[in-house]
Chain A
Amino acid sequence: MVEGVGGSAVLRQDSFPPTRLDAENLACRRGGRLIFEGVSLTLGQGEAIALTGRNGAGKSSLIAMLCGRLRPDGGTIRIEGDEEDVQLAEISHLIGHRDGLKTALTARENLAFAQDVLGDAAASPEEALTVVGLPHAAELPVGYLSAGQRRRVALARLLVSARPFWLLDEPMAALDTASQAMLTGLMQAHLKQGGAILAATHGPLGLDGARELRIGP
């Protein structure tokens, strides 16, 4: 059982440079229908936001918008920090509904690829797999793993490269209770290090001091 302390052992020890996400008055239309409008949020170091709302309220759309995958139909998104002109996608981890894993490659190969592509190397793929409780699956093709195990391999990406923002779209989906506790531990350790988390969720995240942002009716 890996608790927050175990998780923090593999996370990068030094903290992140100060960065702040500022989104104001965002609006989203899909297929001509207004999904949400007037959504504002700020997310700074050590802060967490639990994004809630009924199905179809636009939680995933909001996350896609913040990473630049969806053009806002109103409002602005700004990153304030030391570096000029940086996109949120380049300084954040996105764990969405699609796990971003190649089923023909092994778990270790998938994580090594993510580490090379994302940069900012932190834990090794093997260490990350140990933290998410899948050390034995390192050399197995991901296609052989169950949905929950794949999700844990995807979550191990959070550890192989250190990025200040974690954008998680229903991260608890498909996880068993032990894995949910593991993820809560990882998130607590990340916040303690000055990271920031935005998680779309239906259940509790288990994070003290997480603000709730409810969108939609």
Chain B
Amino acid sequence: MRRAFVAILKRDLALAARAGGGGELALVFFLTLVVLVPFALGPDLDLLSRIGPAILWLGALLSVLIGLDRLFQGDEEDGSLDLIRASSLPLELAVLAKGLAHWLTTGLPLAVVSPLLGLLVALPGEGVLPLVATLLVGTPALSFIGAGGAALAAGLRRGGLIVPVLVAPLTIPVLIFGVSAANAALGGTVPFLTPFLILCAISLSAIVVGTMAAAAALRSAE
């Protein structure tokens, strides 16, 4: 069973790394968005650094959403989902492996490059580490909430738009607490840990609920 789990994880990482795997898509979209925002807002550094965490979080959220529809659709189209269904590995664990691979190839790289992009939005030095921390613990929630939506749309041929529309409303709490934790580190009356711990809780629940929901959606027979 562990072998099957590792095999799915490794295969998805390999696919994301190969040409056309879509691993770079989220990262490039994130870079583009955050690079363009300062040009749109103008040279007001105070304004930029005040809304910097929000821009970075919004950019990360949208970047994760755009590639989500392919999470199960590709496997459904070429029949490899039937292969995974035929495994004795419970579908929940298969979804967990795929969600984990999705986070490792989208959420994690976004968190890693965010300090660099923090420079572009004049993020103060003391805000950088907290921002990376919120992205690190918050993006798994996006991947797994997204997995639930992606599983529902797995069988749809043109489900491209449905997944972000389904998933975006559910990610609002992640965005609220992610941004408020990142902002709290820059001053204000709220201590950093309060929203940060709530964000951790949302992420942990999303991993459980998203995995169960996605497995149920994939299992249900027509």
Contact = CB atoms under 8 A, between A and B. Distances in A.
Interface of A: 67-71, 89-90, 92-94, 96-105, 109, 112-114, 116-119, 157
B216 to A, nearest CB: 14
If over half of B's interface residues share one DSSP class (helix, strand or loop), that class is named, otherwise mixed; here it is: helix
Q: How large is the interface on B (under 10, 10 to 19, 20 to 34, 35 or more residues)?
A: 20 to 34
Contacts of B32: none
Interface in B1-35: 3-4, 6-8, 11, 14-15, 18-21
A117 B6 contact: no
Most B CB atoms within 10 A — which of A69, A89, A104? A104
B127 to A, nearest CB: 39
A99 B6 CA distance: 22
A193 B192 CA distance: 65
Contacts of B8: 113, 117
B82 A69 contact: yes
Contact of A98 (B6, B82, B85): B82
Given A70-B221, A104-B19, A117-B84, 4 more contacts: A94-B82, A98-B79, A99-B79, A119-B87
Given A89-B86, A101-B78, A105-B15, A119 B221 contact: no
B222 A69 contact: yes
Contacts of B15: 102, 104-105
B4 A99 contact: no
B222 A71 contact: yes
A94 B86 contact: yes
A104 B11 CA distance: 10
